[in-house]
Structure 1
Amino acid sequence: MLSLLLLAAAAPVTVAEKSVLLDFRYGWSAEADAVPALRRRFRADASSQRLRGLATAREDRKVRLEMGNPARDWSPHSFEREWRTLGQTPRLLSLEGSTALYSGGAHGNSHTQRLIWDRRLGRELSIQALLKPGTSWQAAIHQPFCTLLSRERRKRLGPDQPGYDPGCPAYNDLPVSLVDTDRDRLFDHVRLTADPYVAGSYAEGEYMIELPITATMISRLRPDYRASFEAQPPVQ
């Protein structure tokens, strides 16, 4: 039975259903639910993902039974997506979406999304839309990320296990999120997430690295967005 838990204002929302075909869960934060456009968007996405997941699982189960696999060996598919608040200012809301799914096979898959919502404009923005024309944060973010990724990879794998090293992922392959680490309603860091297979093997899992938002980066913001940020010392 599909359960839609619509709690009181300032509470997170969860849509959940568990059946022989699909273990489904979709949630979003209270801050996201306070934005009507995001509430509609996530409800619609939850409905779409649920129907898609059921159709895929139903077809997979049918094929397996036709191939002679016992019904007792069937494992339900699963889908879980959670939109969490990473920070907010009076104007901007930063969300991170984490998705984990299993549709048969040796293991599931996961990926990360980011969403920046401008309350004044009533729409989603990219990082680039926050910046002055002709400027970018790429140079300030990508190389420090690659340096810290290399350190973390060596720490995670150990000196005797070089593992699968595809090098540093391209900047465009990395979701970049705005983060308010001290919860003072000002963004002070960016978070870059390399999902499994993006920066290493599946066994290594994801690599999540946060970098400070520096004064140089803030100088590249459009003037009307600068009040939403606070500068931090550069990464060493």
Structure 2
Amino acid sequence: MRPHLLITVALCALTLISCSRKDEAHKDEGPPVAAAPLSFSRPTPDAEVALTFPETVRAFPELHNRLYAEGQGDLNAFVDQAARDRKELSAAGSEAPPYFRSITWTLPAQSEHLASLYAEQSEFTGGAHPNASYQTVLWDKAAKQAIDAHLLFAPNADLSHADAFLCRQIEAERSRRNETPTTQTATGFTCPKLIDSHLALVPSTTSGKIGAVEALFAPYEVGPYAEGAYQIRVPQAVLRGLISPAYAADFAGEPVAATAPSAP
């Protein structure tokens, strides 16, 4: 066989091997995962439930799909439990109003390495009033995984100054709402620890940066139900030197203007 024919055959063989390897690689990857919807609802005679996400969550499909699956499963279980509860109450001669539960996700801020999401959850299963709670997620964009709030801070960071700042801000907000100076001790509630709170990130006046960490407290967590929810900001300047080196560069500037928390 002529030399140029040998070269041609060899090149064709290499091409076929390369294509075969690419085909195998794509086969291993499998089909792309379908994006979850931005909302879910299931109204029944016994309960009404709703789950909603902002459009911006589509940038994080792994997280979006996980939160949607978890939320849908939770709400379906809630509807099924409502049917059982109301059937038992009806058999006992008591007519309970329909239950409801809603989960509303918000993506308030993101930076180069982090994205922050939180959910406001409202639920009614009878009683004098609905109950409210928060759920928060800090998402490492490079690792594509949620991180514990403890990992936001440097190892062995002394957060006592930030904790004291947080408590003073709660007292200041309570005093403003009550139109009279009121300390945390006087209410019978203890001062919370920042690291144990539901934490969300607040965008900065400096583009692409985080300006504050916001601690979210549902009614009853730091005060009586009548006072409602508390959303207390701790500016990044207060946390300087306490943020983990992995995320320290994401914090700068002043937090953007605050909005009032939802009513209970």
Fold similarity call, TM over 0.5: yes
Residues 82 and 99 in structure 2, CA contact (< 8 A), matched pair in contact too: yes
- d(CA) in 1 for partners of 2:153, 2:191: 23
Q: Which of residues 107, 111, 117 is equivalent to 2:129? A: 107
The structure-2 alpha-carbon separation of the partners of 1:209 and 1:130, relative to structure 1 and needing over 3 Å to count, comes to closer
Q: Which of residues 15, 30, 34 is equivalent to 2:40? A: 15
Residues 102 and 108 in structure 1, CA contact (< 8 A), matched pair in contact too: yes
Counterpart of 1:143 in structure 2 is 164
Whether 1:227 aligns to 2:246 is no
Superposed, which structure 2 residues align to 1:79-94 within 5 Å? 79-94=101-116
Give % identity. 23
Give the SS at the match of 1:56: helix
Counterpart of 1:3 in structure 2 is none
- d(CA) in 1 for partners of 2:244, 2:222: 32
Counterpart of 1:189 in structure 2 is 212
Shift of 1:183: 7.5
List runs of 5+ in structure 1 lacking aligned partners.
1-8
Counterpart of 1:124 in structure 2 is 146
Whether 1:175 aligns to 2:198 is yes
Superposed, which structure 2 residues align to 1:21-100 within 5 Å? 21-69=46-94, 73-100=95-122
Residues 152 and 244 in structure 2, CA contact (< 8 A), matched pair in contact too: yes
Shift of 1:112: 1.1
Shift of 1:121: 0.8
Give the SS at the match of 2:97: coil
Give the SS at the match of 1:159: coil
Between structures 1 and 2, the one with greater helix share: 2
Residue type of the partner of 2:167?
Answer: C
Aligned residues: 219
Shift of 1:87: 0.4
> What's the TM-score, normalizing by structure 2?
0.74
Q: CA RMSD in A?
A: 2.7
Between structures 1 and 2, the one with greater strand share: 1
- d(CA) in 2 for partners of 1:56, 1:13: 24
Whichever of the two has the greater Rg, that structure is 2
Which whole-Å deviations, capped at 9, do the CAs of 1:50-90 have from their partners, x for residues lacking one?
22111221111111211123xxx542111111110110113
Give the SS at the match of 1:193: strand
Which whole-Å deviations, capped at 9, do the CAs of 1:133-188 have from their partners, x for residues lacking one?
2224x323211111121122122123399997123432155212211154722101
The structure-2 alpha-carbon separation of the partners of 1:159 and 1:109, relative to structure 1 and needing over 3 Å to count, comes to same
Residues 192 and 222 in structure 2, CA contact (< 8 A), matched pair in contact too: no
Shift of 1:109: 0.7
Residue type of the partner of 2:217?
Answer: A
- d(CA) in 1 for partners of 2:115, 2:161: 22
The structure-2 alpha-carbon separation of the partners of 1:205 and 1:65, relative to structure 1 and needing over 3 Å to count, comes to same
The structure-2 alpha-carbon separation of the partners of 1:224 and 1:155, relative to structure 1 and needing over 3 Å to count, comes to closer
- d(CA) in 2 for partners of 1:40, 1:160: 46
- d(CA) in 1 for partners of 2:181, 2:109: 39
The structure-2 alpha-carbon separation of the partners of 1:53 and 1:191, relative to structure 1 and needing over 3 Å to count, comes to same
The structure-2 alpha-carbon separation of the partners of 1:182 and 1:13, relative to structure 1 and needing over 3 Å to count, comes to farther
- d(CA) in 2 for partners of 1:183, 1:38: 26
List runs of 5+ in structure 2 lacking aligned partners.
1-34, 256-264
Residue type of the partner of 2:166?
Answer: F
Counterpart of 1:159 in structure 2 is 180
Moved more, 29-38 or 48-57: 29-38
Residues 40 and 72 in structure 2, CA contact (< 8 A), matched pair in contact too: no
- d(CA) in 2 for partners of 1:195, 1:132: 27
Shift of 1:195: 1.3
Which whole-Å deviations, capped at 9, do the CAs of 1:20-51 have from their partners, x for residues lacking one?
11111111222323212112212211221122
